[in-house]
Amino acid sequence: MRKLAAGNWKMNGMSVDLAEIAKLIDAHPAPDCDMLICPPTTLLSRMAERAAGSALQIGGQDCHAAGNGAHTGDISPAMLKDAGASHVILGHSERRADHGETDASVQAKAAAAQAIGLVAIVCVGETEAQRDAGTTLAVIGSQLAGSLPATLATVPDALVVAYEPVWAIGTGRTPTLDEIAEVHSFIRDTLVKRYGAAAQEMRLLYGGSVKASNAAAIFALPHVNGALVGGASLKCADFAPIVTALAAS
């Protein structure tokens, strides 16, 4: 299984920030893992052009389940692919909270993304209140059941699950290593029950205040096959050491 270091730029990045891509490519011309940046849509095609021929892959941050039509402001999986994307993040907690996305809508998007040949990175994670109430695994189980496609449309690495505890995103707080390991083991077991032995090859990412100082310890955990990184992916100086740690794990 080839591990994945994915960066989510969220609603950040202007034309001048494309310079960070050249730095990242120079820092990791041939990393021993997959390397992905998901910029805002305004930068996607230009970033893909700059990354062409390099080890860096480019992805979108969301897509619509429909292939085209009267959906003002939305973008289809085919449009992402046409702009140079190979991946798409779906069901991020910020989309679920800010736009009312449901498990069912995420599932429809994931199926549409896979059908067009994009790697779908489906996000799951509990709130602080859910963690404190002891319902983390029940919440994750429900999100997995409702958000993932019914079957693996292609090879196992075309569907990725990212565990991002909502209370750890951008806060500087992270779960303990034991807590991360518990959730990732639960996710793996759940996927195997759903998809069979092929799910052993699905990549599971951890996200939530991942940085150079804690990356190696997180990547050493079983069933952690990479990271979905937010703020630390905006600058090569912050993201490149995370890629290094993953490649060495």
CATH of the domain at 76: 3.20.20.70
Confidence of residue 212 (pLDDT cuts 50, 70, 90): very high
Q: What is the pLDDT of residues 155-209, one digit of tens each?
A: 678 999 999 999 988 788 889 999 999 999 999 999 999 999 999 999 999 998 8
- Annotated active-site residue in 92, 94, 101, 126: 92
Number of domains in the chain: 1
Where do the DSSP E strands lie in the chain?
Answer: 4-8, 34-38, 56-60, 87-90, 119-124, 159-163, 204-206, 226-229
Catalytic choice (64, 164, 184, 223): 164
- Whether residue 10 is predicted with pLDDT greater than 70 in this model: the reply is yes
Full residue range of the structural domain in which residue 173 is found: 4-248
Answer yes or no: 164 catalytic. yes
* 92 catalytically annotated: yes
Q: How many residues does the chain have?
A: 249
How much is the pTM? 0.97
> Chain-wide mean pLDDT for the chain?
95
